[in-house]
């Protein structure tokens, strides 16, 4: 096994008075896709948010190493520039800031951070157009406000488009499959597959098996009450689909 892209040890965090992560241990090696599953309220989104550095979450203990660095010591924007991408469960609408600009600013922030120059306008447009084709998105989206008036499915496709343009080392996709119809699910899955590479890792946070039919995970973890209660291969996801989460919750209690 190659060195872990992401290595989490004993991670505990709270929001307000509520402890939402109660000792998470997880290793995600480069080149692998891991699925994190679990019932509502198990801490899946909290884990995604803590990794991305969302304000409001207080880390109580434990450590997170990302490409050998102390992730928790970095600000959210530096985490992103280092190659961490969070795909939002509820992508935010920002009217007045256009999509193309955000994409370009995000790409340049990462490039400059890595000592590369800013991307030139032509090169940028080529890159974006290529990926928009993968995501079957109309180029008119580029000149619209970020997620402004997008349908649920369009927002999720836009998240994956951003991910494809930014080419992160680690993508944490928080319920990217929720609210997608069959066609959109296929497109989003194809987008995620495009990013699979030996030097990248992907964490799929999901409630259902159906995304995993299209993006086969290397490992599946079940999160319950803020802890990983079971890990296994792809077959674990199928078992969960059949049996639900209850049998694991009894163990976790």
Partner 1 sequence: MSTAFTERLLQEHAALRVSLPDSIVPAAVRDASLKRAAETGLPGLRDEGWRYADLRPLLTATLGTAQAPSETDSARALLPSALEGIHRLVYVNGRFAPTLSAESGALSGLAVQGATLAATNCVAATADERFAWLNDAFAVDGAQYTVRGEQQLELLFVTVPTTSAGASHPRISLALEAGARLTLVERHVGGSEGGLVNVLVQCHLGRDATLEHTRLQDSTRGTIFLDSLLVRLDAGSHYDLTQLQLGAATARSALRIDLDGEAAHVDLRALSLTDARRVHDMTIQVTHRGRQTKSEQLLRAIAKDRSGTSFASRVDVASTAGGADSQQSLKGLLADAGAEVNLRPQLEISTDEVKASHGATTGALDDTMLFYLLSRGLDPQTARQLLEWAFLEDVISRIGRPELRRQVELATLDHLGNTAAEEALR
The tokens of 216 are what?
């086969």
Q: Which of 7, 99, 131, 162 binds partner 1 (CB under 8 A)?
A: 162
Residue carrying the six token digits 């000149």: 143
| Largest CA-CA distance found in the chain, in angstroms, rounded | 56
Q: How far is the CB of 178 from partner 1 (least distance, A)?
A: 17
Tell me the window of 80-88, 178-186, 195-203, 226-234 that interacts with partner 1 (CB under 8 A). Answer: 80-88
Member of 8, 64, 86, 224 binding partner 1 (CB under 8 A): 86
Q: Work out which of 52, 119, 180, 224 binds partner 1, going by CB under 8 A.
A: 52
Closest of 197, 177, 153 to residue 2, by C-alpha? 197
Taking CB under 8 A as the binding criterion, the range among 7-15, 31-39, 72-80, 236-244 that sits at the site for partner 1 is: 72-80
Q: Is 88 in the site for partner 1 (CB under 8 A)?
A: yes
Burial of 68 (0-12, 13-18, 19+ CB in 10 A): exposed
CB 175, min distance to partner 1, A: 16
Give the residue ranges of DSSP H helices in 167-221.
182-195, 210-214
Q: How far is the CB of 26 from partner 1 (least distance, A)?
A: 20
Location of structure tokens 């059949």: 242
Q: Name the residue nearer to partner 1 (CB basis): 38 or 53.
A: 53
Q: Could you give the C-alpha distances from 164 to 65, 127, 171, in angstroms and in order?
A: 23, 9, 10
Closest approach, Cβ 242 to partner 1, in A, equals: 35
| CA pair distance 164, 235, nearest whole angstrom | 28
Residues 132 and 140 sit within 8 Å (Cβ to Cβ): no
Residue linked to tokens 């469960």: 89
Q: Is 54 in the site for partner 1 (CB under 8 A)?
A: yes
Which residue in the set 61, 76, 198, 233 belongs to the binding site for partner 1 (CB under 8 A)?
76
Contact flags string 195-214 toward partner 1, x per CB under 8 A: --------------------
H or E element at residue 216: none
The reply on whether position 53 binds partner 1 by CB under 8 A is: yes
Residues in contact with partner 1, counted by CB under 8 A, come to a total of: 31
**Dihedral of alpha carbons 239, 245, 247, 252, sign:** positive
Q: Point out which residues bind partner 1 (CB under 8 A).
A: 52-56, 75-77, 79-81, 86, 88, 91-92, 94-98, 101-102, 105-106, 109-110, 113, 145-146, 162, 166
């Amino acid at each position: 096994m190659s060195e872990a892209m992401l290595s989490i040890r004993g991670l505990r965090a709270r929001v307000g008075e509520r402890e939402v992560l109660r000792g998470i241990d997880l290793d995600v090696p480069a080149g692998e896709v891991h699925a994190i599953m679990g019932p509502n309220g198990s801490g899946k989104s909290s884990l995604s948010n803590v990794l991305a550095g969302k304000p409001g979450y207080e880390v109580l203990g434990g450590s997170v190493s990302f490409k050998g660095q102390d992730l928790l010591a970095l600000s959210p924007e530096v985490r992103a520039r280092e190659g961490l991408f969070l795909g939002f469960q509820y992508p935010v609408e920002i009217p007045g800031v256009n999509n193309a600009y955000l994409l370009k600013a995000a790409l340049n922030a990462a490039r400059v951070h890595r000592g590369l120059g800013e991307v030139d306008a032509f090169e940028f447009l080529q890159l974006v157009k290529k990926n928009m084709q993968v995501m079957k998105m109309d180029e008119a989206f580029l000149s619209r406000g970020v997620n402004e008036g997008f349908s649920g499915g369009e927002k999720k496709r836009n998240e994956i488009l951003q991910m494809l343009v930014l080419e992160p080392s680690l993508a944490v996709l928080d319920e990217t499959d929720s609210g997608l119809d069959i066609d959109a699910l296929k497109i989003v899955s194809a987008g995620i597959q495009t990013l699979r590479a030996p030097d990248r890792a992907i964490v799929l946070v999901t409630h259902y098996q159906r995304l995993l039919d299209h993006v086969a995970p290397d490992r599946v973890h079940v999160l319950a009450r803020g802890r990983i209660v079971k890990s296994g291969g792809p077959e674990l996801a199928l078992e969960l689909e059949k049996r639900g989460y209850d049998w694991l919750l009894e163990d976790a209690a």
